Structures are given as C-alpha cells and as structure tokens.
Amino acid sequence: MTDWHRGAVIYQIYPRSFADSNDDGIGDLRGIAARLDYVKTLGVDGVWLSPFFASPMRDFGYDVADYRSVDPVFGTLADFDALLARAHDLSLKVIIDQVYSHTSDQHPWFKESRSSRDNPKADWYVWADAKPDGTPPNNWISVFGGEGWNWDTRRRQYYQRNFLIEQPDLNFWNADVRRAILDVADFWLKRGVDGFRLDVANFYYCDRLLRDNPPRRPQGGFARPYQHQRHLYDRSQPETLAFLEELRRLLDRYGERMSVAEIVSDHPVERSRQYAAPGRLHTAYNFLFLESRELTPALVRSAYDGWSESGGAWPSWSFSNHDVVRARTRFGGRDAGEAYARMLLALLFSLRGTIFLYQGEELGLPQGDVPFEKLKDPEGVRFWPDNLGRDGCRTPMPWRHDAAHAGFSRVEPWLPVDPRHHALAVDMQEKREDSTLALTRRLIALRRSSGALRGGALDFADAPAGVVAFWRRHGSEAMLCAFNLGAGPADFPAPGPLAPTETGSGGTIAAGRIALPGFGWILARAGA
C-alpha cells in the first residue's frame, strides 16, 4: 500500500462553478469531465469534488438529501462514473466530499425521525426537550448565527443544528447511525473513489449531557455570537476518534485510499494532529491559514508546532477554498498584484504536507465582487457586509477572456463573473510563458521531481523580519525556500552555497547574500 497522498497536490473543484456543459448557468459533472485534460496539465495528483449529491441546495450541497444519488442539476450517477473513469484514465485520483455531521431536513431519515418520538429513526438525530420555560436545552449557538437548536412542532422537541435550520445534526451516539454512515462510505468506495474529504469532521459527536458551553473571553471583540463561546461540548468530543478509526479500517480494506478531515477548532494544529494520528485519518487540514487575515512568518511557523513529535501524523494545507475570501485578496488586500499571488503559490507548494489548490488559484484570481442583490449564500446575506466571502470565492471559473461569462456558460451563471477575471482567463494565460498559470505548472513539476519538497523534513532558517525561510531536506537533497512576505526589500546572508531553482519578483543570490524585493522569493538547492 502506498501513501500517495503524502506530499501530493490535490485540486479542489467546486462543481457549481467549474464548467457548465448544458448551459443552464450551473456547473456540472459533464463539464468537469470535459475539463480534466486541463487539470492534468497542472501536474496535480488528483481532484477533490465538493458535494454533488441530491440536495435542496439551501447550503449548496452541504445539506444532503440522499447520500447515494447525484443531484439532477449536476447530472446522474452515470455521469459521475464517466468522470471517475476519465480521471483514472488520466492517472488522476478522485476524492469526494462526505458530509456526515448533518443532513438536509429533506433527507428521508429526518422526515421519519421528526414524525414521532417512537419511530425506528426517532433517535437518529439530536433531539432534546425544552427547558421548563420553553427555551432551548442549552446555550449552544449555530456557526451561521442564532441558537444551535430549532423547535419542531410535530415532536414538540428541539433538534440540534450547528449550521442552518435546514441542517439537523445526526446523532452519532446511535450505533445504527454510525453503521448507516459507514454503509454510505462503502457505497462510494465500491464505486471506485480514491478517498474522502470529511466535512467538519470534529462535529460528529456532541456532549451526551448537553452541557452549556462556557464563555470565551473576548480579545478585541468578536464579530459573531458563535465566537463568544468555548466550544467544549458541541464539537471535538473524544468519541469521534473511535468512529474515525472504524472508518479508517474500512478505507484500508480498499487499498490505496485516503481520507482528509476538515477541522474547525480554537486549537487547529493540535486538533489536526490528533485526528491524523496513526490508525485514524490519513491527514487533516484546518483553518489556521484559511481564517487568517495577515500572512506572517510567525503564522507559518505556528503551522508546524508539534508535527515533528506527532508520531507520524501528516498535515495538509490550503490558502483558499470555497468557504473563505481568496488568499490573494484576504492576505494582500484588494489591490494585491500578480507578484503577491505568485509568492503565495510558491510558498504553498513548498510546504511540508498534502497541498490543496482551490480552482482559480493557479490563475492568481482575486476575490470576486458580488453585489448584495446577487448574493446566494445564506450566511453571506445574514452577516452582510462582514461575511465569510463564500460567494466571492465561488464565482465561475474563467476559461475564455473574450466569451460571455468568461466561457463558463452561454447563459447568465448562478453567480456573476468578476470583470477582472476575464484578463486572467485560462486562454490568456496559456499564451504566456511568464503567466501565473505557467508558474503553477513549473512549481508543481518541481515539487513532484524533488524528494525534499514532496516528502522531506522542514526546518526553519534564520531570516530578517518579514521573511520566512526554511530548509526542505530529503536524503542528500536540501532546498532553501525563502519568501519576503512584505512590500519592502530584504537582504540577508545566504546559509552556504546555493543554486537557484525558481525565483520570483527578481529574487537573487550573489556574493553570498540573498536579496528579495517586495514579495520576492527564491527556491535554491544547496551546493553551487
């Protein structure tokens, strides 16, 4: 059995926004299949598909109504099988999103569960009686705002919901629920998928006693009610680990499969190490980078706290995904240029771990502008203007600069294409050897060919303020990776003879010194 995921680069595809094959304004599985040749040219090891399952789309697929079927807006199971076969023909792995924490309120399981207190699935969701005064059973709060409970008039009880009202939480204390979820996983493994990305994997269990969360001491004030609590009882319960070990045993029966947890925690690195420990999941990623608004050397260093002592746990990293403002804008501001976007890519592909590259990042896309009247994300509407930016990062992929809607669709898409994205479209960048797309391909190729970058150790090196530098080492190969995260120039001694391999924004090594202009960077092998 090979650990193909270690050091791999996996390309995240958000199906609604990647490619529209039938001109209904929404991306689909056939559209993805038709564009897999492009994905292959990036040099990535595989793709992660965000949810494409049957859903009322209140949370755009993360509210699953049938785990075993494809929503008609995306196609059919036959379309998925064809996509999977095409990906495998191209030697691309396919991992799919699995949303086990909760379902849609339209799922047959929930419809039965809410029908009475004594039906066969009555205990499949987290139900609780009201307090004597009619209020919810405890103080838990939803991530998306409001109470973490919703009253159901049929059962005359509250059900837990960590997200939308339409997303009731499954009760993992129930053995039948655990078996049903493992059956879902087995269904897709038998179909040939190469693994799973597990949505909010540390939300599966809640405290059996439903104890109140304690308050969290504000540090400069919190933007959302959810941040006012220490989430000791509504997530990250120790029982989750036993279930993940059971899921891992299922995966291992199928050979070269992988699993990656999404971790939402106040202690993201520690929790990721715990969930990716041997015998549990293959790897885990968190929101350390994704939720940060400032990229600093200290932040990068903090990402690796404790990993070397974690007993073999393997990290994963991403700077952007479908839930947050794109990295170019979030870290660099609205006016961040292409040089900044390229520095981010070089840094990401130099990190130790499995790398997730969100669609459009290879083009250096800034966050898309979506006016309020065209917002679709319920979280974005509720918290406007201080929202997570999920609509702006989900705007359609720009394929052709001179086509309507940038070649994504021939009709108006579900979200508008930002006019700035036309100039960064794939067809424009394909023509230029100095494009961000061309750099992405070179960097991924370098990572694949370098044992140090793909799987080697990472050791931080001394560097001046504003610069993060580290060695990647494997066997006799050693590569220094240095990045100027600031707009001003930086100059410092080179730690021995170095042969530059890739540079950005005019970074140089001369006379025993490394010179990095603002947002400059350099990857250099030891030995002149």
DSSP label of 363: G
DSSP label of 273: H
Among candidate residues 132, 177, 136, the one with its CA nearest the CA of residue 160:
136
d(CA 469, CA 351): 11
Alpha-carbon dihedral sign for residues 325, 331, 336, 337: negative
Could you tell me if 59 and 388 are in contact, meaning their C-beta atoms sit under 8 angstroms apart?
Answer: no
Joined tokens for residue 264: 């939402």
How many C-beta atoms lie closer than 10 Å to residue 420's C-beta?
A: 13
The burial class, CB within 10 Å (0-12 / 13-18 / 19+), for 458 is buried
H or E element, residue 452: helix 451-455
d(CA 479, CA 444): 15
Order of all β-strands in the sheet with 490-493: 490-493, 513-516, 508-510
DSSP label of 253: T
Joined tokens for residue 110: 């929930």
d(CA 435, CA 351): 22
Q: Mind telling me the catalytic residues?
A: 199, 262
d(CA 458, CA 308): 9
Half-sphere exposure of 62 (CA within 13 A, CB side): 18
Joined tokens for residue 337: 């240029």
Helix axis angle, 77-89 to 175-191, nearest 10°: 60
Task: Spell out the residues 6+ positions from residue 89 whose beta carbon is closer than 8 angstroms to its own.
Answer: none
Joined tokens for residue 163: 């997200």
Cα-trace Rg, the chain: 23
Q: Can you give the three-state secondary structure of 184-252, one letter per residue?
A: HHHHHHHHCCCEEEECCHHHCCCCCCCCCCCECCCCCCCCCHHHHECCCCCCCCCHHHHHHHHHHHHHH
